[in-house]
Amino acid sequence: MPQFISIPTPGLHCIGAYRADPAGAPLGGIVVVQEIFGVNAHIRRIVDGYAQAGYVAIAPALFDHVESGVELDYDEVGVARGRALAGEVGFDRAVESVASAAQAIASAGRIGVVGYCWGGTVAFLSATRLGLPAVVYYGGRSVPFLHETARAPLLFHFGERDPIIPPADVSLHRERQPQAEFHVYAAGHGFNCDVRADYDPASAALARERSLAFFARELGADA
């Protein structure tokens, strides 16, 4: 059964996390990195989905560094509050927390990361700084870090109608990270989230299929 657990992070500070385990022997482990809205029902469904696909999955509650139990709505108030909390946490602490979450599920085998929006950039940095294979969904804050060298494989998902990530930024990703796998969908920002206006079921399903293929390849026994 899925469960909420507590995981230690550097500085002896513990944060919460939502964890789900597969029915049988795990294929590996996946750290799911939240959007700016917290470890909400949408993120928990993603964790559950990866567990159903055979992985031990865990979503660290990154905002617990500032305020515990945060779940925000997808509206102007939620966006403003989420951006403020993300700024307070910062990318360094977020990446450290991914490392802690990965350690918490280390017994599952090889570990990968998948992140969404703000969490997409955290996932990218997990590949450059932690050496973890990473899937990046519309990580709109990654441009300042594209000079960093990836120490693990990367898969990027973008929406071609995303107002937050213009085509020039997507091109910059391709230029600075030419070894990575890229996919662009006929969709907007947040197309994977079923409670957003830009949710696109077909794009979300295809991106999930490609993400599962990536993790099967990079976390498998022959990786």
Any alpha helices (H) in the chain, and if so which ranges?
Answer: 41-52, 76-104, 118-129, 167-176, 201-219
**Per-residue pLDDT tens digits for 53-99:** 999 999 999 999 999 999 999 999 999 999 999 999 999 999 999 99
Measured CA angle at 125 (ends 16, 114), to 5 deg: 60
> To the nearest whole number, what is the mean pLDDT of the chain?
96
* CA pair distance 20, 58, nearest whole angstrom: 6
Residue 222 pLDDT class (50, 70, 90 cuts) = low
Structure tokens at 124: 């990218």
In the numeric block, the tokens 């969908």 are attached to 185
CB 42 within 8 A of CB 195: yes
Q: Is the pLDDT assigned to residue 221 strictly greater than 70?
A: no
How far is C-alpha 175 from the geometric centre of its chain's CA atoms? 22
- pLDDT digit string (tens) for 158-175? 999 999 999 999 999 999
Residues annotated catalytic, as ranges: 117, 162, 189
Residue 140 has pLDDT above 70, yes or no: yes
pLDDT in tens, 5-55: 999 998 768 999 999 999 999 999 999 999 999 999 999 999 999 999 999
Residue type, 173: H
Angle between helices 76-104 and 118-129 in degrees, nearest 10: 30
Q: What is the DSSP string of 144-197?
A: GGTTSPPSS-EEEEEETT-SSS-HHHHHHHHHH-TTSEEEEESS-TTTT-TTST
